[in-house]
């Protein structure tokens, strides 16, 4: 299977801890997106990379959040000093340059106790 993969699939942490999630996009895709989804809502855009460049960040992405894509392949999303309000599904998607469709990974479900 060569779809988008994410790790871990589930993460339970205590408030105040730091967490890091990884996304591996479809191999030939140079665009990578992070979204956050809470129960009963659609995904909300967080940030976007084209190759290794982070080209857009949502205002939802507070200074506790940071994302990287150092070699233009996989990406990491780190949340520092987690809060209960950070509990959500974190989705990664990728698309090809000039492609129209974003393909989503299975997501990482974060629970902050």
**Would you tell me which residues interact with another protein (CB under 8 A)?**
31, 33, 40-45, 48, 50, 55-56, 91, 95, 100-107, 109
Q: Nearer to another protein by C-beta: 36 or 79?
A: 36
Q: Specify the residue, 57 or 74, whose C-beta has the smaller distance to another protein.
A: 57
- Min separation Cβ 107 and another protein, Å: 5
Task: Output 63 or 100, the one with its CB closest to another protein.
Answer: 100
Strands 108-112 and 10-13: parallel
For the CB of residue 101, give the shortest distance to another protein in the complex, in Å. 5
For residue 35, the minimal CB distance to another protein (Å) is 8
| Closer by beta carbon to another protein, 40 or else 85 | 40
Residue 67 vs residues 46, 75, 99: alpha-carbon distances, Å: 10, 7, 23
Q: How far is the CB of 25 from another protein (least distance, A)?
A: 13
User: Beta strands of 1-113 (E only): which ranges?
Assistant: 5-7, 10-13, 19-24, 31-37, 44-50, 53-57, 65-68, 75-79, 88-95, 103-104, 108-112
Residues ≥6 apart with Cβ < 8 Å to 53: none
């Amino acid at each position: 299977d060569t779809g988008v993969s994410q790790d871990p699939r589930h993460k339970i942490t205590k408030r105040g801890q730091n967490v890091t999630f990884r996304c591996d996009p479809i191999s030939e895709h140079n665009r990578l997106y992070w979204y956050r989804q809470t129960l009963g809502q659609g995904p909300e855009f967080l940030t976007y990379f084209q190759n290794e460049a982070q080209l857009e960040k949502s205002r939802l992405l507070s200074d506790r959040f940071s994302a990287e894509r150092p070699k233009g392949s996989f990406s990491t999303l780190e949340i520092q000093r987690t809060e209960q309000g950070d509990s959500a599904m974190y989705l990664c998607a990728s698309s090809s340059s000039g492609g129209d469709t974003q393909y989503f990974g299975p997501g990482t479900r974060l629970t902050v106790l």
